[in-house]
Amino acid sequence: MYYDELKTFITLAEVKNFTKTAEILHLSQPSVSLHIKNLEKEFQTKLFIRSPKQLRMTPTGELLYDRAKQMMALYEQTKQDILEHHHSVKGGLKIGASFTIGEYILPPFLLDFQQRYPELELEVIIGNTKEIVELVRSYQVDIGLIEGQTNEKELSVHPFMQDELVIVASNRHELAQKEEVAITDLQNEAWVAREVGSGTREYFNHFIRSNGLKVKSLMIISSNQGIKEMLINGNALSLLSRSVVARDIEHGHLSVIRLKHPPFYRMFSYIYSPVMENKQTVLIFLDRLQNR
Ligand SMILES: O=S([O-])[O-]
């Protein structure tokens, strides 16, 4: 549809003056003429009779004027209806999220999301990556957000955000006092790690194995908060997402070990089963997630 041209045409038909039309629409006069020319070409007709004294509409101009008003009204109404449709999204959306995402990334995002769609009923289930994959596979949640990997062939997996992992300890830890720490300085340390099945543990195993590190002791806690408490009160190290420890670092409860090594990154992904692909609430959620 020639939206801009029709708008110009309607204004010109009403004020009957090129200069005034250009002023009202914040256009140049040649643009106004071009819009009219484009319409005349499109409809293969003359729309105005120009005489030095006045500007008159031709009969086809009159016809187009009535229809153009209807078209514009319909266009505006459609725009309005679509806007309202988005604001009145109803129904439920069940989101499964792994711990780091569910506890640290999702809350501010969901507050904004709920403000946009106040009639949507949101439910978040938090578990580790393996548990969330299972919930998505068995349709117990509409969509899953995970920090680990999955090889589930029947699910769609899409990375949506990069996450940085850091090695943290209490401020009293010997390595926290050093200006620079080499990976080899991490030999024979006590670690606290997440449980098998979590994305964080998967990365930890990879980190220890690929650097040939010997672990003096390993304590497993299936909660990021639990790990942080252990670190603050003990003398172990842990590999956690920076988003999990950001506030504790800011408040001086934990320190990031300053490694010579470049930062460690992984990707967060959203996953869903193909049957959820066309669910309106899922589509809206994904659209916001990608454009956050
Ligand atoms: O909760 S996690 O680290 O998959």
Element (H, E) at 32: helix 29-43
Element (H, E) at 1: none
Cβ-contact 98, 244 below 8 angstroms: no
Per residue in 199-212, is it b (16+ CB within 10 Å) or e — as a string? Answer: bbbbbbeebbeeee
Q: How far is CA 11 from the centre of its chain?
A: 40
Residue owning tokens 């484009």: 38
Q: Is residue 48's pLDDT more than 90? A: yes
Query: Other C-beta atoms within 10 Å of 189: how many?
Result: 21
Q: Which pairs from 219-222 meet CB under 8 Å and 24+ separation?
A: 219/190, 219/191, 219/192, 219/193, 220/192, 220/193, 220/194, 220/195, 221/192, 221/193, 221/194, 221/195, 222/128, 222/194, 222/195, 222/198
Q: How far is CA 105 from CA 23, 145, 242, in A?
A: 48, 10, 11
* Burial zone of 228 (CB within 10 Å; 0-12 exposed, 13-18 middle, 19+ buried): buried
- The Cα 120–Cα 131 span in angstroms is 25
Mutate which of 105, 125, 129 for ligand 1 pocket (most atoms within 8 A of beta carbon) = 129
Atom of ligand 1 nearest to the CA of 126: 1
- pLDDT of amino acid 73: 85
- pLDDT of amino acid 51: 85
* Burial zone of 24 (CB within 10 Å; 0-12 exposed, 13-18 middle, 19+ buried): middle
Q: Is residue 89's pLDDT more than 90? A: no
Residue owning tokens 């090594």: 261
- pLDDT of amino acid 76: 83
Domains of the chain in sequence order: 3-86 (1.10.10.10), 91-161+268-290 (3.40.190.10), 164-265 (3.40.190.290)
The whole-number average pLDDT for the span 33-40 is 96
Cβ-contact 113, 285 below 8 angstroms: yes
Q: Is residue 87's pLDDT more than 70? A: no
CA of residue 267 to ligand 1 center, whole Å: 12
- Does residue 100 line the site of ligand 1, with CB under 6 A? yes
Cβ-contact 48, 57 below 8 angstroms: yes
The whole-number average pLDDT for the span 101-109 is 95
* DSSP one-letter code for 101: I
Angle, helix 3-15 to helix 59-87, in steps of 10 degrees? 130
pLDDT tens profile 210-220 = 999 999 999 99
- Does residue 148 line the site of ligand 1, with CB under 6 A? yes
- Does residue 241 line the site of ligand 1, with CB under 6 A? no
Atom of ligand 1 nearest to the CA of 200: 3
- The Cα 87–Cα 42 span in angstroms is 37
Its sign, for the CA torsion 49, 50, 54, 55, is positive
- Does residue 147 line the site of ligand 1, with CB under 6 A? yes
Mutate which of 124, 198, 271 for ligand 1 pocket (most atoms within 8 A of beta carbon) = 198
Query: Quick one: pLDDT band at residue 86, thresholds 50, 70, 90?
Result: low
Residue owning tokens 């899922």: 282
Q: Give pTM, 2 decimals.
A: 0.70
- With pLDDT > 90 as the criterion, what percentage of the chain qualifies? 80
- pLDDT of amino acid 119: 85
The whole-number average pLDDT for the span 8-18 is 95
pLDDT tens profile 123-174 = 999 999 999 999 999 999 999 999 988 988 899 999 999 999 999 999 999 9
CA of residue 24 to ligand 1 center, whole Å: 58
